[in-house]
Amino acid sequence: MAPLFAQDLAARHPLYDAATPRKVQTAAGATALKIAPATEQRVVVGQNYPFEAPPSAASLVLRGWRGERCSGQVAIAVNGAAPGLKVTCTTLRQGAHELPAEVSMVRYTQAGKMLVADVIGSENRCEAPAGMHRAAWFMVNVPQNAAPGLYKGCISAEAPGCEPVSMDVELWVEDAVLPEPSDWKIHLDLWQHPQAVARWHDVEPWSPAHFELMRPLMKRLAEAGQKCITCTLIDEAWNGQTYDTFPSMVRWVCGKDGVMRYDYSALDAWIHFMHDEIGIREQISCYSMLPWHLKVLYYDEATGQELYLKADPATPAFAEVWAPFLRDFHRHMEEKGWAAKTCIAIDERPDRMVREAMRLVKENAPSFRIASAVDKPSALTREVYNISPVLTHAGSALGPLLRERKAAGKITTFYVCLHPATPNTFTASVPAEAEWLGFFAAANNLDGFLRWAYNSWNRNPLECTDFVHWPSGDCFVVYPGNRSSVRFERLRDGLEEFEKINLLRARAAESAGAAAIVESMNARLAAIFTVERSKKPQHVQDIAAARSIVSETLQALDALRKG
C-alpha cells in the first residue's frame, strides 16, 4: 500500500521548490528585480535566462477569440535575495470595457537533474534566493460577449527593499467566438486516476470527501474538452505501472454456490459523478478485457480469500470468465442509460486478442463498442470504433482510411506516451510541444488526442516529477491540490486551436471565395504538422506560424463576408 500524506506537502514546505538554487549570471548594473516575457525555453534554475530582451519583447503580447483562455509566462530575475517576492496584475482595459486577469507564481519541481518551473497554483508570492529566476503565469478567461479590440494592462513584481518593476500586457480580442468547452468537438481522452487523489489527501476512496477533492481537478479536465470517463473493470489492468494502485471499480465475488456476482457500487458512483456533476458525457472507457496480465482478481466466499482467474483469449477460459460478466454488465449499463456510451477499452494488445474480445462483446453486449490504443494501425483498424495510434505511426491512419472511418461515424485520434521524445508533455519539454499536439490533430483531420495519464502522481510530484524509468512528468500533467501546469495550459491552447480551425473550416460553405481561403489554410497547416516534421526541433516556430495562419484566415474570411 502506498504511504499516505496527511496534508499537502506544499503547505508544509513552502520553500521546497527553491531547494539548493544555483547561481545565475545577471547583467552588470541591473536592478534588484527585472521582468520580461518568458521565451519558449523552460525557466530553469541555473539557466542564463536572456533578460536583455529586444524592444519587441518588452511587453507580453497575446491574441485570442472571445470565449478563449489567453495566457503566457513571464520571468523575474533577482540579483539579491528577495524575501516575499510578489506579482500582481491590473485589469485589462479597452475604453469602458474591462477583462479581469490573474497572475500567479510558477513553482519549481525537479525533473531529472533540473529544477523546472512548471507548477501553476494560485499563490502570487514566494521566496526568491539571490540570483534565482522566478516564473509567473498570467491568464485571462475572455468572456464570449467581450467587445473585440485591443486591451491593455500590466504585470508588476515587487519585494521588500527592491524597486518595483512592471511590464505591459497587450491582448487583442478577435471578432470570433469559441464555444463553451462542453460543446468542443475535439475528442480528448486523458486517463483519470481517482486513487491518486485519495492517497495524496489521505481520504477513504469513494467517500464524500474523496469526491469533493476530485471535483475541481475533474472540472479542470472537463473545461479542456474531455470526452471520456476512465473506468476499471478489473484490478491493475496495466500491471501496476503507477505509484498508486489502479483497483477495479467492479468487485467480483464468487459465492459459495459457485456463481460469480458483480458489485458495481464504486463504478456507479464514479460515473454518476463524472457524467452528471462534472459533465463528461460522451464515452465511458472500461479497462479492460485484455489486461496485460490476463487475470481477473475476485473474492471467493468459500475460502474468504482473494484469488485470480486466468483469462487468456487463446483458451476457453476467456469466454467462460468474460461472457457472463458482459451479459450482466450490459444489462446493468442499459438500466443506467449508459450502454450506448460504453466502450470496452483496450491498450496496445495484439490483433488476435482484440478480435476475440470483439467477438465476445458483439455476442454478449451488443450496445458496447471497442476503443483501442495501438502502436500502429493494422487490418483491424477499420473495424474498431475508437482507434488511437501513437504519433510516430499516426500517418498510416490518415488519407483514405481516415475518410472511410469518418464516413462510418468512427473516432480516430492519436497519442503520445513515454515516446516520442518530442513532441511531448514531459516536465522539461519545450512548452510549444504540448500546443503542437492539438494543431497536429486539426491539421490532419483527426478527431482528437489521447494520453495515458492525467493525474497518476508519483510519491510527491511537487518535489520531483520522476517515476521509475519513465521520462519525468510522463505520468501526469496536473498537480495535487488542483494545480495546473505550464504544459497542461499549453496543451489546452492547442485544443482551442483545434476548435478554431474546425470552426473556420465550416465557413468554407459561405462562398467559393471562402472555400478557397479555407483550402489555403488547410494546405499550409498540413505542410507544417506532419509526422516527419514532428521529430524536428522547430515546434516553437511551427506554433508561431500556425497561429498566424489561423488569425490571417479569420481576417480574410471576415473581410470577404463584409465585401
Reported in sequence order, the residue ranges of 225-274 that DSSP labels E, i.e. its strands, are 228-232, 251-254, 260-263
Specify the number of domains making up the chain.
Answer: 3
CA 346, 348, 351: angle at the middle one, nearest 5? Answer: 85
Q: Is residue 124 part of a domain?
A: yes
pLDDT at 78: 78
Q: Are residues 360 and 500 in the same domain?
A: no
Does residue 4 lie within any of the structural domains?
Answer: no
Band the pLDDT of 77: cuts 50, 70, 90.
confident
pLDDT bucket at 276, cuts 50 / 70 / 90: very high
Provide the domain limits for residue 312.
187-374
Of 377-381, 410-414, 428-432, the one with minimum mean pLDDT is 377-381
Q: Which of 449, 490, 451 is nearest to 471 (CA)?
A: 451
Say yes or no to pLDDT of 8 above 50: no
pLDDT band, residue 43 (cuts 50/70/90): low
- Residues 141, 32, single domain; the answer is yes
Residue 181 lies in a domain: no
> Is the pLDDT confidence value at 208 over 60?
yes
Residue 563: band (very low, low, confident or very high) from pLDDT cuts 50, 70, 90: confident
Q: Is residue 395 part of a domain?
A: no
* Same domain flag for 423 and 503: yes
Final residue before a domain boundary, out of 112, 141, 175? 175
> Domain check: are 539 and 485 in the same one?
yes
Residue where the block lists cell 482484440: 354
Instruction: Assess whether 17 and 126 both reside in one domain.
Output: yes
Taking residues 251-263, what's their average pLDDT? 97
485 and 522 assigned to the same domain: yes
Q: Do 122 and 26 belong together in one domain?
A: yes
Name which of 110-124, 184-198, 289-303, 507-521 the model is least confident about. Answer: 110-124
Kindly state whether residues 160 and 14 are assigned to the same domain.
yes
Asked if 483 and 411 sit in the same domain, the reply is yes
Side chain identity at 184, as an amino acid letter? W
Indicate whether 256 belongs to any domain: yes
The C-alpha cell of 402 is what? 481516415
Q: Does 3 map to a domain?
A: no
What percent of the chain has pLDDT above 90? 81
pLDDT at 280: 98
Question: How high is the pLDDT of residue 363?
Answer: 98
- CATH number of residue 20's parent domain: 2.60.40.10
Question: Does 117 lie in the same domain as 140?
Answer: yes
Residue 254 lies in a domain: yes
Q: Give mean pLDDT, residues 107-125.
A: 91
Tell me the average pLDDT of the chain. Answer: 90
Helices (H), 166-278: 194-201, 208-222, 265-272
**How far is residue 427 from each of residues 125, 446, 543, measured CA to CA in Å?**
22, 26, 19
pLDDT band at 242 (very low <50, low <70, confident <90, very high): very high
Which one of 175, 207, 234 terminates a domain?
Answer: 175
pLDDT (tens digit per residue) in 362-401: 999 999 999 999 988 888 888 999 999 999 999 999 999 9
Residue 317 lies in a domain: yes
- Among candidate residues 150, 175, 200, the one where a domain is terminated: 175
C-alpha cell at 297: 482478481
The predicted pLDDT at position 162 comes to 84
Segment 528-536 mean pLDDT: 96
Q: Residue 189 — pLDDT band, cuts 50, 70, 90?
A: very high
Identify the residue with better confidence: 378 or 407.
407
Measured CA to CA in angstroms, residue 178 lies from 254, 294, 326, 388 at distances of 51, 44, 40, 26
Do 406 and 481 lie in one domain? The reply is yes
**Per-residue pLDDT for 63 more than 60?**
yes
Supply the pLDDT for residue 33. 84
- Give the residue, 319 or 23, on which the prediction is more confident: 319
547 and 414 housed in the same domain:
yes
**pLDDT at residue 82, as a whole number:** 65
